[in-house]
Structure 1
Amino acid sequence: MSQEYRYTLNGKLRQDKGKGASRRLRREGWVPAVVYGGEGESISIAIKQDELAKNAKFDSFYSQIINLKIEGKEDTEVLVRDVQRHVFKPLFQHFDFQRIVRGQDIYSTVSLHFINEDEAPGVKEENGVITHFYTSVEIVCQPRHLPEYIEVDMGSLSIGDGVYLSDLKLPEGVSLQQDENLDSTLVASIGHPRLEEEEEEESDAQAIEDLIEGEGDAEDGDAESSDDASDE
């Protein structure tokens, strides 16, 4: 393939299947995976844990077309469709990859990159607070149009302003999967500082602490009175 890829993975075919075989692979530093869709049958493969970890630290790994080499012989274009992680260890347990067919639309989730937030009048001049309601969006496009991310420029917003789905500047050939309520679905907004609310919360928390301490003192006093009574 002549196209340049940002991500390339190397896998090997899995002959043994089942939980026992998967556990053995993981102990040896491999991650079980499956490749499906497109014009081929589903196949079971394994990829080195270290190789996945090196690539998966980038957000775009989960939305960009990956060149998958199997046994060093086949080149397959795939997208990450599902990832299973260990409950508490920083390890991958399983990957699902979907084949890409050139000329057919693909559905993907792409990260939003917010820019110029510190320069927004609502932040720089009015000390407003930015809230992100979305950090990614679901899109549909041809493989050649798949973006690495979508920029959201916050530089002109004041307090009370927001960016809606309909405001997103989508690259050529890209559209949102969601086609309803685009004008009323907020992506991000700038609101008033929460200082007064935080002060009220701190005051409430202090009142609760004082109440607890007061009850504790009262219980100590009751215990002392009881001890005095028993001494008598």
Structure 2
Amino acid sequence: MKVVAFKRELQGSGASRRLRNSGQTPGIVYGGTEAPVTIALDHNALYHALKKEAFHSSILDLEIDGQVQQVLLRDFQVHAYKQLVLHADFQRVDPNAKVHMKVALHFVNADVSPAVKLHGANISHVLNEIEVSCLPKDLPEFITVDLANVDVGHSVHIADLTLPAGVTAVTHGSNLTVATASVPAGHVAAEAAAAAPAAEEKPAAKGKK
């Protein structure tokens, strides 16, 4: 994905405000062996790019005054109630150094899992993203969580995920829960009520003479 930016010389809140009023967003590029560079980006292009999931977890080609460098989006700020991007931070990427990034989780096959098909359970997504470590070339846009074999009372943890080659999860020593399957309380109560009359109809066992 490509992002076009321009160097900006003027800094400070007044300069940033004037920049936003002209339809641009202030930003910064840092990292690597070069000094940080303050930049300006087209606001509308950036605003729409931020709506794309891949923009947040992909290596971006940032073009500044005709020169392209690879970066990652590291942070951005938006206005509290206006559709306005206030600032964006990008980090330069070294192709030979591993990066740590948060990557979105995509959940699939919940509808064919035993939990849902056999027991009418709900599968709750506890995490929507995880942090991974890998070389820039191996960075995935998302990670798939296959729920096909999940049954009631079972959980999926980070250690259960199938990660792409060259990608490892950053767990900080904790095997966090990704998803859980549980039967709704109302469904359990309904099943219990339906089973009760059947139990009452069974004849009582005869005592010994």
How far did residue 110 of structure 1 move?
A: 0.4
- Structure 1 runs (4+) deviating above 3 angstroms are none
Distance, in Å, in 1 between the alignment partners of 2:184 and 2:164 is: 34
Structure 1 residue 123, shift from structure 2 partner: 1.3
CA distance in 1 between partners of 2:48 and 2:160 (Å): 34
Q: Partner residue of 1:68?
A: 62
Q: Deviation digits for residues 64-93 of structure 1, max 9, x if unmatched?
A: 00000012x110100011110101012211
Tell me the distance in 2 between the aligned counterparts of 1:181 and 1:15.
45
Whether 1:156 aligns to 2:149 is yes
Deviations 1:102-161 (A, max 9, x none): 101111110000011122121122111111111000111111111111000011111111
Taking the aligned partners of 2:114 and 2:83, their CA distance within structure 1 comes to: 40
For 2:172 and 2:79, the matched residues in 1 are separated by: 35
Residue among 81, 85, 99 paired with 2:78: 85
Q: In the TM superposition, what is the alpha-carbon distance from 1:195 to its structure 2 partner? A: 2.4
Q: Which amino acid aligns with 1:62?
A: H
Number of residue pairs matched by the alignment: 190
**Identity %, equivalent residues:** 36
Structure 1 Cα separation of the partners of residues 77 and 17 of structure 2: 14
Partner of 1:203: none
Question: How far does residue 188 in structure 1 lie from its aligned partner after superposition?
Answer: 0.3
Residue in structure 1 matched with residue 178 of structure 2 by the alignment:
187
Q: Tell me, which stretches of 5 or more residues in structure 2 are unaligned?
A: 189-209
Equivalent AA in structure 2 for residue 189 of structure 1? T
Q: What CA RMSD, in Å, does the superposition of the two structures yield over aligned residues?
A: 1.7
1:172 maps to 165
Equivalent residue of 2:110, what SS? coil
1:122 aligned onto 2:115? yes
TM-score by length of 2: 0.87
Larger fraction in helix: 1
1:77–1:99: 8 Å Cα contact kept in structure 2?
A: yes
The gaps in structure 1 that reach 5 residues or longer are 1-6, 198-232
1:111 aligns with 2:104: yes
What is the TM-score of this pair, normalised by structure 1? 0.78
Structure 1 or 2, whichever has the larger Rg, is: 1
